[in-house]
Chains A and B, each alone.
Chain A
Amino acid sequence: MIEVNEKIAIDHGLKKDEYKKICELLKRNPNLTELGIFSAMWNEHCSYKSSKKHLKKLNTKGKKVIQGPGENAGVIDIGDDDAIVFKIESHNHPSFIEPYQGAATGVGGILRDVFTMGARPIANLNSIHFGSPSNKKTKSLLRGVVQGIGGYGNCIGVPTIAGQTSFDESYNGNILVNAMTLGLVKKDKIFYSKAAGLNKPVIYVGSKTGRDGIHGASMASAKFDDKIEEKKPTVQVGDPFTEKLLLEACLELMRDDSIIAIQDMGAAGLTSSSVEMASKGKLGIELHLDKVPCREENMSPYEIMLSESQERMLIVLENGKEKKAKEIFDKWNLDFSVIGKTTNSKNIELYFDKNKVANIPIDLLSEEAPEYDRKWKKSKLPQKIKFTKKDFKNLKITDVLKKILSSPNVCSKEWIWEQYDHTVMGDTIQKPGGDAGVVRVHGSEKAIAATVDSSASYCYAHPLSGGKQIVCETWRNLICVGAEPIAITNCLNFGNPEKPENMGEFVECVEGLNEASKYLNFPVVSGNVSFYNETKDKGIKPTPTIGGVGLIKNYKDMITMDLKETGNIILVVGKTEGHLDQSIFAKEILNEKKGPPPEINLFNEKNNGETVLKLIKDKLIRSAHDVSLGGIMTGIAKMCIKGKKGINFYKYKGLIDKFEFFFSEDQGRYIIEVKKENVDKVKKILDKNSNHYDLIGEVIEGNISINDEPTLSVDKLADYNKDWLNKYMVN
């Protein structure tokens, strides 16, 4: 075996000091297998060494939280003994190197995190971010990622109900692929990863172990350079068919209580799953690596411990249950092997060919893992841009609207979500393209709404405001479908934490999202951090992605954003101040990329959201949509397109310029459609709750009519909205 030295340790991604610490803690030099294990457990991806200090501050508690961060996924209570298990996770680095497999295994990994806990997955979501459309890699990466997400989710038979796609040049060398899964479980049938009891059999189930993905977790914590494509062999290969079998077999085994602890083999494979289960149970673990089912010959202990082959699980079973458990896995044609047992040594002890090949105290891998207090730089709020009448001269609202609707970040993403099976399982009652996806809780009156959001431009301009904004947008999106927001999961995609600017972005985004999460009583129950999203020293814009989950008590109360009937009145709830900085209008039309993001007023956000939700519950709202990218005009146009209806705008008499009114991206606003006979009732409720509102128009057939401008046909607008992506992908 190779003698381990400092150079080999550095090649494993460890720092000099970290290697020194390992030798001191062990009181000897590690052997190669041990070094591999340390490097996997101590890297950023598994240890959260740069982020831990800040994540500890997160608001993770709430009346409906059954399980917060620290498990395979978070769990929330949705009443009647039902619980929802959910989490979002990144698969950025592998997806850039090999988009199909990277994205596919991202979906596979997050699905396993959810069914590991005993839940049947009921919905998938994703948030994907690509470089500028003109970048030569963008198209093939987009195609590969979409096919990968579809290839995995469609095959396993879990509907992909919502998502988000953005383009920005900061992702040219580092795309982002964040996948989220929700699962349904009975409250008393949740499984955890904490091992308990001595001499309990440790079982390996699922696919065989191969040489794929060795050091995937370390790669996920590395910066990219020109030679990154050489890392292709570190990308795992997904097999959704085996995952489907594994899902069914695990759920079958979970019907009784033979499982003590279960953990999927995700990042750092057998290493992290065994260490985490033992560590949580304050136990030791002994593994016999020759018993691990391998798909390649002559695999070394080092390779077996670090392989990231997919579709595998590690289970600590009750004694005497092995035979019955094996029958289930045999039925599903999956490998089942007793590979070790729990011990009281508090060490991880590995054997191969009867030789002891590694022996490490588990504390050294978990609690003693490094934790850094990285230097970080505070961001200043950029100066506000003073837009004047002159800036809007020669502009027509209708032209601006056409341009915005066909811009890459606003255009319809139907080309993408039509490739995802969003109806399998037969409970999807709101498909992608709305404010949130909604699925019924099978066999009940309840429904679950879910959404993913991020706003990298806002976060880049001012991380603190940006962090708050995303949480608020997630909350609004859930309210727009009539759901009560319950909790969130976050996927924190950032650049290099060793750079104070990037670390500052992280710290302040987290602070912002935490502030909003506390104020809105919208706790974080799970999440993941992805650092080192940088190529050749250029990092991505800070992109925290928030996945939100809400409950609709009776699915018949769900509403959608498409306009319903002519004659109804359109109102905007929430005040329009005219904030154009960082808006799509400023960037796409005025070519102005500076300025602060819109301000967040948490009081108004909460107050407006709660009132709108009440109006929906009282059945006073026919359709609703939040005002986000592109402002009121873009929001209404989308409602028209979806409902195949038009709008006749009332004459605009406000104090701010009409372009500011129609295209600003002030937060905390909703567009609602109300029946004429209910308008007075709605106004009264809004007044009583001190919600600002504007009446802006009336639903008509087929056209958008803005008093002194030419009429726009909604059918044509729909084409503008849909064509950009279709043409981009075909040409």
Chain B
Amino acid sequence: MKSSVIIFPGSNCDRDMDVALKKFGFKNKMVWHNDNVIPKSDLVVLPGGFSYGDYLRCGSIAAKSNIINSVIEFANKGGLVIGICNGFQILIETGLVTGALLRNKYLKFICKNIFVKANKTHNKYFNKIKKDILELHIAHNDGNYFCSQDDLKSMQDNDQIAVRYCDSNGEISENSNPNGSIQNIAGVFNEKKNILGMMPHPERVIDSCLSSNDGSYFFENLLSNMK
């Protein structure tokens, strides 16, 4: 399986994503933001970081970069596209997924392990993962997901809420919401569910010596769906 990770100036999880994809068997290529074409891929990843410094609204400049047109084209043809953290912010700025990511509720950068419940129906990202509650990791300043009530309703009706923050028992409540996201939303799909944007970093939790190993399920599941 072939994957491409886009490097924007200021990306800083590009290497981590490359390491994770290769660990689970992807043949990964790094693609420079100024290129116009994505090499032949089954999966495209927009990694975390601070693209162009994020001095303007997070992800907004990356959404206008050279490479982004081919990312959109790839996605529109049904290709699998993942945006993690800053990558999620970029997906939102391109309009590929719905919503907005605001400053965290307590106005602080948060770096810690969190628990999420994933939506396993009709998508290739979480469908066959056996574990109900995944322990992943967040590290962001602007991950407070927001959307209009209409959008929320249509996403709910269409099963587009991908991941929600919960506690270790699976309870979804204000207490298990790290950043103030509406409905504890940590990640969403587009309508066709080939695009996933989410704040948690699966690539940082892929070994038992790291803060969790649950990111492994994510990559293993993804790969098993692509074979």
Contacts and interface: CB of A to CB of B under 8 A. Distances in A.
B172 interface: no
A429 B9 contact: no
A157 B209 contact: no
Contact of B53 (A155, A426, A555): A155
Nearest to B141: A154
B70 to A, nearest CB: 20
B111 A155 contact: no
A426 B19 contact: yes
A156 interface: yes
B102 interface: no
A423 B209 contact: no
Contact of B16 (A244, A333, A425): A425
B16 A418 contact: no
Contacts of B141: 154
A707 interface: no
A419 interface: yes
A332 B204 contact: no
A239 interface: yes
A503 to B, nearest CB: 41
Nearest to A151: B109
Interface string A423-454: 11110110100000000100000000000000
A241 interface: yes
Interface in B201-225: 201, 203-204, 206, 209-211
Interface string A392-436: 000000000000000000000000011111111110110100000
B53 A333 contact: no
Contacts of B20: 426
Contacts of B49: 157
A517 to B, nearest CB: 31
Contact of B204 (A244, A418, A424, A440): A424
Nearest to B34: A331
A443 B55 CA distance: 33
Interface in B1-56: 9-10, 12-13, 15-16, 19-20, 48-50, 52-55
B129 interface: no
Interface string A145-181: 0010011001111000000000000000000000000
Interface residues of A, number: 32
A240 interface: yes
A241 B55 contact: yes
Contacts of B15: 425-426
Given A241-B10, A426-B16, A154 B210 contact: no
A349 B45 CA distance: 51
Contacts of A333: 9
A16 to B, nearest CB: 46
B16 A424 contact: yes
A375 interface: no
Nearest to A420: B111
Given A157-B49, A421-B109, A424-B16, A431 B9 contact: no
B112 A424 contact: no
B139 interface: yes
A245 interface: yes
B210 A426 contact: yes
Interface string A550-563: 00000110100000
Nearest to B112: A418
Q: Most A CB atoms within 10 A — which of B12, B210, B211? A: B12
B212 to A, nearest CB: 10
B109 to A, nearest CB: 5
A423 B10 contact: no
B165 to A, nearest CB: 15
Contacts of B111: 154, 417-423
B64 interface: no
Contact of A240 (B16, B52, B53, B206): B53
Nearest to A157: B12
Given A423-B211, A426-B16, A241 B109 contact: no
A150 B210 contact: no
A242 B109 CA distance: 20
- B interface residue count range (under 10 / 10 to 19 / 20 to 34 / 35 or more): 20 to 34
A560 to B, nearest CB: 11
Given A150-B109, A421-B109, A423-B111, A244 B139 contact: no
Interface in B114-129: none
Contact of A241 (B9, B137, B139): B9
Interface string A202-244: 0000000000000000000000000000000000000111101
Contacts of A431: 211
Contact of B109 (A419, A425, A429): A419
A92 to B, nearest CB: 23
Q: Most B CB atoms within 10 A — which of A154, A156, A245, A419? A: A154
Interface string A71-111: 00000000000000000000000000000000000000000
A154 B16 contact: no
Contacts of A421: 109, 111, 139
Contacts of B110: 418-419
Contact of B10 (A155, A425, A429): A155
A555 B16 contact: no
A151 B206 CA distance: 26
Q: Most B CB atoms within 10 A — which of A150, A154, A426? A: A426
B131 interface: no
Contacts of A428: 210-211
B52 A419 contact: no
A556 B109 CA distance: 30
Contacts of B206: 426
B108 interface: yes
Given A425-B16, A428-B210, A419 B108 contact: yes
A241 B19 contact: no
A521 to B, nearest CB: 29
Interface string A648-665: 000000000000000000
Nearest to B49: A157
Given A419-B109, A429-B209, A424 B203 contact: no
A154 B20 CA distance: 20
Contact of B137 (A240, A423, A558): A423
Interface in A342-379: none
8 contacts: A150-B109, A155-B50, A241-B9, A241-B54, A245-B9, A245-B10, A423-B211, A426-B15
Interface of A: 147, 150-151, 154-157, 239-242, 244-245, 332-333, 417-426, 428-429, 431, 440, 555-556, 558
Q: Which 3 A-B pairs have the closest CB atoms?
A: A157-B12, A241-B53, A426-B16
Given A421-B111, A424-B139, 17 more contacts: A150-B109, A155-B12, A157-B12, A241-B52, A242-B53, A418-B108, A421-B109, A423-B137, A423-B204, A423-B210, A423-B211, A424-B13, A424-B204, A425-B16, A426-B16, A429-B209, A558-B209
